[in-house]
Amino acid sequence: MNYVEKNLRNGEEVIVKAKISFLYLVPRILFFAIAIAIAAVLATVVFKEPSPEDIKNFADLANFENKVKVYANLRTIVWVVLPILGGLPLIQRIIVILTTNLVVTNKRVVGKQGVLKIQTLDVPVEKIDSVSFDAGVFGNILHYYNIKITSTGSQGYVFRAVSNAQEFKDRANDAIEKHAEQARKDQAEQIAIAMHGPSGGAN
């Protein structure tokens, strides 16, 4: 059971759920592959282990042995640092995909994203000001988007990797309008009661 399902209230129904796209990983997979390729080139070409034939290029054996040790250390650094630099952004996006839950119900907009840095959203529909979305170059190509939800008194909440952003926005706006329309009807009924009294009252 995910975060949203645990927090649904009595009489609350999910209207639309954000679909999370695994294509959100593609740019970071490419970046990781490039980092590995660079590490391979540095380790096998630039910092390759000197061969015994190279000893004639050095003044003495000590210099040759020193170069062997230095290059060995550099290869180790390359194979440790570059995969980490390429892998951390990928891990970050995997966490986003695995931890994102975002829905609109007939009463609220509810969402959660993250593990260490957790973003939670729990706002009544009537307090939502706007729902919008955007995307970068890869997002436009691969059809995943960032949804931004602004509410009264907040600077906005951003949820990433959403593939059905247009549907989510449309259904969220429908829910907001439906709730506003019901609120107007309730207000009109209250005004009518205040002016004329409850229907069916005594003459």
Give the long-range contacts of residues 95-98, CB within 8 A, separation 24 or more.
Answer: 96/24, 96/160, 96/161, 97/20, 97/21, 97/22, 97/24, 97/25, 97/161
pLDDT of residue 202: 47
* CA–CA distance, 147 with 141 (Å, rounded to integer): 17
* CA–CA distance, 22 with 97 (Å, rounded to integer): 7
Cα→Cα distances 77→67, 71, 74, 84, Å? 15, 10, 5, 11
CATH 2.30.29 fits 3-20+101-195, yes or no: yes
pLDDT of residue 25: 97
Strand order in the sheet with 145-151: 128-134, 145-151, 157-162
Tens-binned pLDDT, residue by residue, of the chain (203 aa): 677 777 788 888 899 999 999 999 999 999 999 999 999 999 999 888 877 666 565 556 667 778 888 889 999 999 999 999 999 999 999 999 999 999 999 889 999 998 888 888 999 988 998 999 999 999 999 999 999 999 887 778 999 999 999 999 999 999 888 877 877 787 777 887 778 766 554 44
pLDDT of residue 57: 56
Widest pairwise Cα distance in the chain:
118
pTM, two decimal places: 0.78
Inter-residue contact 100 to 20 (CB < 8 Å):
yes
pLDDT of residue 203: 44
Which two tokens mark 55?
């000893």
